[in-house]
Structure 1
């Protein structure tokens, strides 16, 4: 597995790592941020700039075609003003991204990838930091996958640029910020379709790994109806900061999972809420067991649905990325990342007392040499 061993920093370790790393005089940072209303939007950047890091900013400005509420407009404007005060307006490049609407398939993911490719040269920097704190889920996963793939290709005969993924993590804040109406259709991260609609491989078994979070019943039903999987392996967060969180998630979705989906209790996987790389290893290994077991029968397709925290979602994405591009012995299987996007957001529920944990994943670059 590519990310075994790995480099992951959280909490105090985050501060210690970036205090030393950002102060290295040879480093030039590009930060890819979301232009959003989330109060966590600048938490990571503020830390790294405070440690002495010199940064340029690519600010992804999302447009879903709907009029924002006065509250969301105000919160977004406040974040932009704080960003300009922090790094200076001349350091910020605004990148417009059109979000897909119902019936447009993977338009969001496709538009994000195209926008990043057209934004400028990555080889001007020693380090690219994708901070997903204020990005919608499909934007965040596409940004991570696209940047990782572009930098991997560039390193073959060009500079070896580091890629970090950071976030200010809070499960309760994610739930409060993501309220809204859902799109009608199922979408995927561009490049990770799993050949879902391919007629030539329609008879190949489909294994689905939904990474479960709270209040995901509608998404689960829509993805299951679209995918029609042969095997379902739900992934629950465990261990977690809230000791009973995994049990509560299972209880919330009990009827859907065990009565409607007919999930076998033995198929339930556990993935660490604390560490996305450990979750990556657990999901990657489970996918690989199916790949090897079914290889002589024509193989299988594996799909993940990132319905939990952003860190767990990135871990699930890396499992798919490694199966598609990594050093796999034997035949590869098709892998897909399926999701149902939020169409129109409600005003966020913001608790001023919510605590965020800063986390940093070092995905590629110097540490791999």
Structure 2
């Protein structure tokens, strides 16, 4: 059966092929590039910008400094070093502070970052690179949605690239202090507030991740799904991570969420397209089954790997799926973590641009 999926096929690169692509593609001095990246404490903050700057094409930076209440002095010091490095790597740049929470602790980061992006001038820019390595889901998802919409209307740069420096061990070393207010990522409500979806059968697809039990329990209560299909990384860089996650979430899987072992979704930890295609297949299978009884709605919660989160993002963009998320109030980082991460695994997705034939399958709205 022919599939009318926007990113199937999709141009992507993984591992050493990403470095080869950057060295070749961004060596063309006719290209005018802007890189959007996080300017925070994450040791991966400078990896992609450094590689792009070495490519040779004229480069401009938009560095987003996510501000949360009462950060630890250690994280502030690490962030200051990364900011200084980014400013040296990309001299032509803007550093934009983004408040993630309001004075009442309401989540406002998505709206603030969308406002900051809307004020940018993209005249003459041929390529936008969004480096999600040091950006949170609540910040990166609205940015990418807005850029895709610009591309759809022909108002933005022709080419949109997503890049991430993937390091599961580092992700595990970053401990999240979750807020108490679950909600939907800005721009990713997915129509759930409309009457047409009031009776829809909700299938919740949470990404399981170490240390995220409390956050996922709050999200489960918020989403109140009819069924749950947790997502486990497989294959993965750590072959035992699936077993450890199953053990950590045993209570939820066995009782609280009532998950049958046949309902667990496995997705390649280093290939966002694997999860993207899996989510779309699930959506396609459920639509005819529930069409006569209120319809079906998939709800995503990407709290795990940033690479797998990109797969969830692509599916959410294509089908206008809701993304339920619990924003981090703060972070803790193990003191032993080096400022220079060991050779992260790079992933590149060419999301929009001249490489794709026209017309393309339309995004659902």
Task: Judge same fold: TM > 0.5, yes or no.
Answer: yes
Which whole-Å CA distance do the structure 2 matches of 1:96 and 1:276 have between them?
A: 29
Match of 1:358 among 343, 346, 354: 346
**C-alpha spacing 1:110/1:232, structure 2 compared with 1 (3 Å):** same
Which whole-Å CA distance do the structure 2 matches of 1:104 and 1:77 have between them?
A: 24
Which whole-Å CA distance do the structure 2 matches of 1:15 and 1:255 have between them?
A: 42
Match of 2:167 among 164, 167, 170: 170
Instruction: Encode CA deviations 1:271-293: one digit per residue, 9 max, x unaligned.
Output: 11121012111112112211232
Which sections of structure 2, spanning at least 5 residues, go unmatched? 358-365
- Contact kept, 8 Å, 1:102 with 1:185, in 2: the verdict is no
| CA-CA distance at 1:238 after TM superposition | 1.0
Structure 2 partner of 1:67: 70
Structure 2 partner of 1:339: 325
- Contact kept, 8 Å, 2:107 with 2:327, in 1: the verdict is no
What pairs up with 1:260-271 in 2 under 5 angstroms? 260-271=256-267
What pairs up with 1:235-254 in 2 under 5 angstroms? 235-254=231-250
- Contact kept, 8 Å, 1:206 with 1:300, in 2: the verdict is yes
What pairs up with 1:19-34 in 2 under 5 angstroms? 19-34=23-38
Paired residue secondary structure (2:236): coil
Kindly indicate whether residue 48 of structure 2 is the aligned counterpart of residue 44 of structure 1.
yes
- Contact kept, 8 Å, 1:58 with 1:94, in 2: the verdict is yes
Instruction: Encode CA deviations 1:113-140: one digit per residue, 9 max, x unaligned.
Output: 122112x123431000001111123112
What pairs up with 1:213-252 in 2 under 5 angstroms? 213-252=209-248
- Contact kept, 8 Å, 2:215 with 2:326, in 1: the verdict is yes
Deviates more, 1:345-354 or 1:358-367: 345-354
Kindly indicate whether residue 77 of structure 2 is the aligned counterpart of residue 80 of structure 1.
no
Kindly indicate whether residue 127 of structure 2 is the aligned counterpart of residue 134 of structure 1.
no
**C-alpha spacing 1:69/1:301, structure 2 compared with 1 (3 Å):** same
Aligned pair count reads 351
Which sections of structure 1, spanning at least 5 residues, go unmatched? 325-334
Which whole-Å CA distance do the structure 1 matches of 2:126 and 2:52 have between them?
A: 15
**C-alpha spacing 1:140/1:313, structure 2 compared with 1 (3 Å):** same
- Contact kept, 8 Å, 1:189 with 1:338, in 2: the verdict is yes
- Contact kept, 8 Å, 1:61 with 1:94, in 2: the verdict is yes
Normalising to structure 1: TM-score of the pair?
0.89
Structure 1 partner of 2:146: 146
RMSD: 2.0
Normalising to structure 2: TM-score of the pair?
0.90
Paired residue secondary structure (1:367): coil
- Contact kept, 8 Å, 2:49 with 2:90, in 1: the verdict is no
| CA-CA distance at 1:101 after TM superposition | 5.4
